[in-house]
């Protein structure tokens, strides 16, 4: 009402003011209209406000597909890439960011039209020639090249692009995928991938290739180069994308349930891939019985000689190992396919949903194969006599302090202990129903700790708040196990 009066008073009396008001009204009506008529927009946020990694990911859009075409020359460690990113705008977008660390951007386009771009730190900002309306799908195409970087994490671990004696491997947890392709590098934005890699054929027969996630769609051998095309149809968080370039012994087969197995083993690490292939099959079948159907179209492993790396990674469908893994580590990385890869944390602080579960699966496997029971392993952790129990009381697993190292012991050991306490409280039958319901309800999605604790209470009909308060959120070692 007062606005109307004000308008009335200006009418005819003060034409510049009237013009201004009209302009404002026009602006407001354009800004409020649907995607069809939008001419103004807002920049997408440079991060998704992840408490542990504030600049990870970007706001304003959702990626559905990455089409990466890469050419890699090992002698010069030179990577040339083209990334075609298909996305949907979640707001009227005047410009938006991608995460990219290092490399040179040569060209950028949105919907086929050249776009302005700028770089700062790990951010690549694209300004399309037109605002992208909320709800619209678009493609961003980025051509880039250079020597990809090896990144160092707060805990001293290396990730990103790692050179090997005969090629390279790309590992992306938590931030390293930005070192080899531009993207929305946060686990909350999962997407399908087609990754095509061309490498020189070193004349070594046809053993020299690039191995990646998903299924091998084609392999083309030309005179002096080999091109492989890998497809991940199911959504993948970018930290789980990988390529490994080198010479490999390839082993293929199927699990008892018919899931195709593809393992690639560096000849520097083992004579052949047969043993690894059969272990992968056995473990995936065992895990499917406990955690629900295997969530992807294929499985396997990559062993690429990098003995000093100090960790393995659950790269989707095909976990990576720097040396031949023991059974326990293989169980850990394969079980991540259910917990972490199919059901992915919405934010990095919920990492215990990955590591606690993969670690607990190691305990279950040990119990299954006649070793210590999960209770015995739990006791060894609680008493501090287990070799991996150092540091597990440093912080509450579901509330890692900012600046903390994302792969620290509480999320592993104490995360697994939490699951053991849930199992003890609800009994085996309800416990495994909880795990299978979790993997079914959040299959190929994102989830958080509150959803997990609510599920435990719903399926058991018990108030478990004390248990979770103590084991997930409490400081220090609980007084009683
Ligand atoms: N997530 C990996 C696993 O548990 C481990 C890992 C990845 C890691 N990156 C790391 C451990 C960096 C220490 C440092 O299988
Ligand atoms: Zn793990």
- Can you give the pLDDT at residue 206? 57
| Structure tokens belonging to residue 111 | 């919907």
pLDDT at 187: 98
Domain ranges (residues) in the chain: 39-245, 248-337, 343-473
If you measure from the C-alpha of residue 258 to the centroid of ligand 2, how many angstroms do you get, rounded to a whole number?
Answer: 25
Are the CB atoms for 132 and 142 separated by under 8 Å? no
Among protein residues, the one whose CA lies closest to atom 15 of ligand 1: 313
Residues whose CB falls within 8 Å of the CB of residue 339, separated by 6 or more in sequence, listed in order: 291, 353, 354, 357, 358, 361, 439
Q: Which atom of ligand 1 is nearest to the CA of 340?
A: 1
Distance, CA of 140 to CA of 88 (rounded, Å): 11
| 207 Cβ inside 6 Å of ligand 1 | no
Quote the pLDDT of residue 201: 86
Q: Which ligand is nearest to the CA of 356?
A: 2
**Rounded Cα distance, 96 and 41, in Å:** 11
> In this predicted structure, what is the pLDDT of residue 6?
32
According to DSSP H, which parts of 130-266 are helical? none
Query: What is the CATH number that goes with domain 343-473?
Result: 1.10.390.10
- Those residues with Cβ within 8 angstroms of residue 216's Cβ, 6 or more apart along the chain or in another chain: 228, 229, 230, 262
Q: Is 309 in the pocket of ligand 1 (CB under 6 A)?
A: no
Please check whether residue 101 is in contact with residue 151, taking contact to mean a CB–CB distance below 8 angstroms: yes
- Per-residue pLDDT tens, the chain, 481 aa: give them: 333 333 323 333 344 455 544 444 444 444 444 444 447 999 999 999 999 999 999 999 999 999 999 999 999 999 999 999 999 999 999 999 999 999 999 999 999 999 999 999 999 999 999 999 999 999 999 999 999 999 999 889 999 999 999 999 999 999 999 999 999 999 999 999 999 999 998 665 557 899 999 999 999 999 899 999 999 999 999 999 999 999 999 999 999 999 999 999 999 998 788 999 999 999 999 999 999 999 999 999 999 999 999 999 999 999 999 999 999 999 999 999 999 999 999 999 999 999 999 999 999 999 999 999 999 999 999 999 999 999 999 999 999 988 767 899 999 999 999 999 999 999 999 999 999 999 999 999 999 999 999 999 999 999 999 999 999 999 999 998 8
pLDDT digits (tens, 9 = 90+) for 348-404: 999 999 999 999 999 999 999 999 999 999 999 999 999 999 999 999 999 998 876
Q: What are phi and psi of 30, to 5 degrees?
A: -70, -45
* Ligand 1 binding pocket includes 173 (Cβ within 6 Å): yes
312 lines ligand 1 (CB under 6 A): yes
Q: Give the separation between CA 126 and CA 116, rounded to whole angstroms.
A: 6
Residue 66 contacts residue 91 (beta carbons within 8 Å)? no
Among 52, 53, 157, which residue has the most ligand 1 atoms within 8 Å of its CB, making it the best to mutate? 157
**Beta sheet of 123-127, edge-to-edge order:** 42-43, 93-99, 123-127, 116-120
Answer whether 313 contacts ligand 1 (Cβ < 6 A).
yes
Q: Is 145 exposed, middle or buried (0-12, 13-18, 19+ CB in 10 A)?
A: middle
pLDDT at residue 79, rounded to an integer: 98
According to the model, what pLDDT value does residue 389 have? 97
Question: Is CATH 3.30.420.40 what the domain over 39-245 is classified as, yes or no?
Answer: no
Q: Which of 150, 173, 328, 405 to mutate to test the pocket of ligand 1 (most atoms within 8 A of CB)?
A: 173
What letter does residue 293 receive in the DSSP assignment?
S
- Say whether domain 248-337 belongs to CATH 3.40.50.300: no
What pLDDT shows up at residue 15? 47
Residues that place a CB less than 5 A from ion ligand 2: 355, 358
Pocket test for ligand 1, best of 162, 242, 311, 336 (most atoms within 8 A of CB): 311
Ligand 2 centroid to residue 330 C-alpha, Å: 10
Distances (CA, A) of 381 to 317, 339, 388, 477: 30, 22, 8, 11
Distance 341 CA to ligand 2 centre (A): 11
């Amino acid at each position: 009402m007062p606005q109307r009066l004000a308008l009335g008073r200006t009418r005819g009396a003060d034409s510049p003011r009237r013009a201004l008001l009209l302009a404002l009204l026009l602006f407001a009506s354009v800004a409020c209209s649907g995607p069809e008529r939008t001419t103004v927009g807002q920049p997408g946020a440079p991060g998704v406000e992840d408490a542990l990694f504030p600049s990870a990911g970007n706001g304003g859009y959702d990626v559905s597909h990455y089409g990466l075409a890469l050419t890699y020359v090992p002698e010069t460690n030179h990577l040339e890439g083209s990334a075609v990113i298909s996305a949907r705008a979640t707001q009227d977008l005047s410009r938006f960011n991608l995460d990219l660390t290092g490399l040179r951007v040569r060209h950028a386009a949105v919907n086929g039209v050249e776009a302005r771009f700028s770089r700062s730190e790990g951010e690549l900002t694209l300004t399309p020639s037109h605002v992208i309306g909320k709800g619209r799908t678009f493609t961003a195409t980025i051509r880039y090249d250079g020597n990809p970087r090896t990144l160092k994490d707060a805990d001293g671990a290396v990730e990103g692009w790692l050179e090997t004696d005969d090629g390279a491997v790309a590992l992306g947890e938590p931030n390293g995928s930005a070192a080899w392709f531009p993207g929305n590098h946060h686990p909350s934005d999962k997407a399908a991938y087609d990754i095509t890699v061309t490498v020189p054929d070193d004349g070594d027969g046809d053993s020299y290739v690039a191995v990646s996630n998903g299924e091998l769609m084609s392999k083309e051998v030309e005179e002096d180069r080999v091109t492989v095309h890998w497809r991940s149809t199911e959504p993948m968080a970018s930290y789980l994308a990988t390529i490994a370039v080198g010479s490999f012994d390839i082993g293929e087969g199927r699990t008892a349930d018919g899931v195709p197995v593809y393992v690639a083993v560096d000849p520097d690490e083992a004579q052949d891939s047969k043993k690894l292939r059969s272990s992968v099959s056995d473990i995936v079948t065992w895990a499917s019985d406990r955690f629900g159907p295997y969530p992807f179209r294929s499985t396997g492993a990559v062993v690429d000689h990098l003995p000093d790396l100090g960790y393995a990674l659950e790269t989707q469908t095909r976990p990576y190992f720097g040396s031949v893994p023991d059974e326990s580590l293989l169980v850990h990385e394969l079980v991540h396919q259910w917990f972490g890869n199919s059901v992915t944390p919405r934010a990095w602080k919920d990492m215990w949903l990955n590591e606690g579960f993969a670690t607990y699966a190691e305990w279950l496997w040990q119990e299954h194969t006649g070793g210590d029971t999960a209770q015995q392993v739990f006791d060894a952790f609680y008493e501090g006599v287990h070799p991996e129990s150092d540091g597990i009381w440093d912080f509450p697993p579901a509330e890692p302090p900012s600046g903390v190292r994302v792969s620290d012991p509480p999320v592993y050991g104490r995360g697994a202990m939490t699951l053991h306490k849930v199992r003890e409280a609800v009994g085996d039958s309800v416990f495994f129903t909880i795990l299978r319901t979790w993997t079914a309800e959040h299959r190929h999605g994102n989830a958080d700790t509150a959803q997990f604790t609510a599920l435990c209470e719903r399926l058991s009909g018990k108030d478990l708040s004390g248990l979770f308060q103590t084991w997930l959120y409490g400081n220090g070692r609980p007084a009683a196990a």
